Amino acid sequence: MDTTSRRSFITGASAALLAGGVGGGTAAAATNTNSDVGRARGDATLRIGLIGCGGRGTGAAAQAMSTSGPVELVAMADAFEDRLDNCYAHLAELGENGSFDNGKRLQVPAENRYVGFDAYRKVIDSGVDVVVHATPPGFRPEHFEYAVEQGKHVFMEKPVAVDAPGVRRVLKAAKAAKEKSLKVGVGLQRHHSGMYNETIRRIHDGAIGDVVALRVYWNGSGVWVRGRKPGQTEMEYQMRNWYYFNWLCGDHIVEQHIHNIDVGNWVKGGHPVEAQGQGGRQWRNGPDHGEIFDHHFVEYAYDDGAVMLSQCRHIQNCWDQVAEFAHGSKGRASLASGLIEAPGGWNHHEPEDEKSPYQVEHDRLFEAIREDKPFNEAKNGAIATMTAVLGRMATYSGKKITWKEALKSDVSLEPATYAWDANPPTVPDEMGRYAVAVPGVTKA
């Protein structure tokens, strides 16, 4: 599956829903006060800050600016200036083409465009009301913590961490956000799909009987590689190729397959209690592929004895599948197709005007902010992330690992220092290759 296409934010029905105009602005963001936190914002202008200006960040910013009511994007941050500039130019072009309604929503003067490892703090401190987090997930716990400390509503992409210590930080910050009545959205957009919601509601109502097994897949051909350039430090190289390093990405079982794993948890109404699995590198195993596996297979077990069989693969010319299936005592269901094969049956027919769930997740978040409705997806995002991390622990080690053991793990992937001249947690050997986990040897 083409990741760029998957993450595109102007496809199908959603493209028709975006209308209006935009222009570059010069107004700086007004200061957010503590009195704003946890109260209904009504028709007030909501000021948005974007942290992470890659493809997903650009898409999320466009979707946030396409919500109902007055909103403005007033601050932006990225580790790299070129990525920030490209994001701003693309958003400006979308605005010129009428992709945002309700007037001029792109209002980010040059002084509100921040670059560097500490740029996230400058955005959060600039007077924004809502922060969109779309950096590589390794940064998510620290960035989310700070946004909550400063009383900001949050949309953050999945996964929300890359290791157990990060998950615990997110869970703690999620509790603090709830206590402050802050609203938090997480980019597991299937929760905002009419098809998924109706299919799972029917499963929960007994349409296929007792769910005894699940099959979840993210099998595709892989993603981009950005070649090493002369003069790059190791830190910059890994940041540019974040997908291939666990401190930034968590491996593709965490970064991508989390979507399907999360659906399995949703169907079961909880997380697994243990996992065992296997994986490795068969095809994508060069120096430019960092330290991650190209295939994982995990068998998750739930407390009622049900199992979830999980596959994710990045190998070309193989069977591709991105979907989820539930098997019950009375029949089975295809979640990605909205199909129930059981007595009575059912097949979802998507209305022509049904919004993209990528847009709906932002619509609901901003509606909750305006009306002060309960809205906090951070805990579910953390549980889904931890389930995927548990799977990686099992495939890397070759051991059966319980949920409790995994969540208590003190193995942190975080760098000692965030600086361009600092060493990341893993560095290449004299041949330019990175150490890769060896099942049966590696301690996860």
Contact 255, 160 (CB under 8 A): no
Query: How confident is the model over 135-190, as pLDDT tens digits?
Result: 999 999 999 999 999 999 999 999 999 999 999 999 999 999 999 999 999 999 99
pLDDT for 95 equals 84
Averaged pLDDT, 307-315: 98
Residue 41: pLDDT band by 50, 70, 90 thresholds?
A: confident
**Strand pairing category for 332-334 and 339-341:** antiparallel
pLDDT for 36 equals 62
Angle at 103 between CA 102 and CA 109, to 5 degrees: 130
pLDDT for 18 equals 30
Query: How confident is the model over 398-430, as pLDDT tens digits?
Result: 999 999 999 999 999 999 999 999 999 999 999
Query: How confident is the model over 18-35, as pLDDT tens digits?
Result: 323 333 333 334 444 555
CA distance 85 to 108: 11
Q: Helix-strand-coil percent breakdown of the chain, rounded to 5?
A: 35, 20, 45
| Domain boundaries along the sequence of the chain | 3-190+358-376, 193-354+384-407
Query: How confident is the model over 73-122, as pLDDT tens digits?
Result: 999 999 999 999 999 999 999 888 777 765 479 999 999 999 999 999 99
Spatial CA neighbour of 280 closest among 431, 128, 397, 111:
397
Question: What is the identity of the amino acid at 80?
Answer: F
pLDDT for 101 equals 61
Contact 380, 284 (CB under 8 A): no
With respect to CATH, is domain 193-354+384-407 assigned 3.30.360.10? yes
pLDDT for 19 equals 29
CA distance 410 to 165: 6
Predicted TM-score (pTM) of the model is 0.91
Q: Is the peptide bond before 159 cis (omega within 30 degrees of 0)?
A: yes
Angle at 136 between CA 131 and CA 139, to 5 degrees: 65
User: In sequence order, which residues have a C-beta less than 8 Å from that of residue 393 and are 6 or more positions away?
Assistant: 275, 399, 401, 406, 409, 444
Pick the CATH number of 3-190+358-376 from 3.40.50.1370, 3.40.50.720, 3.30.70.1400, 3.40.140.80: 3.40.50.720
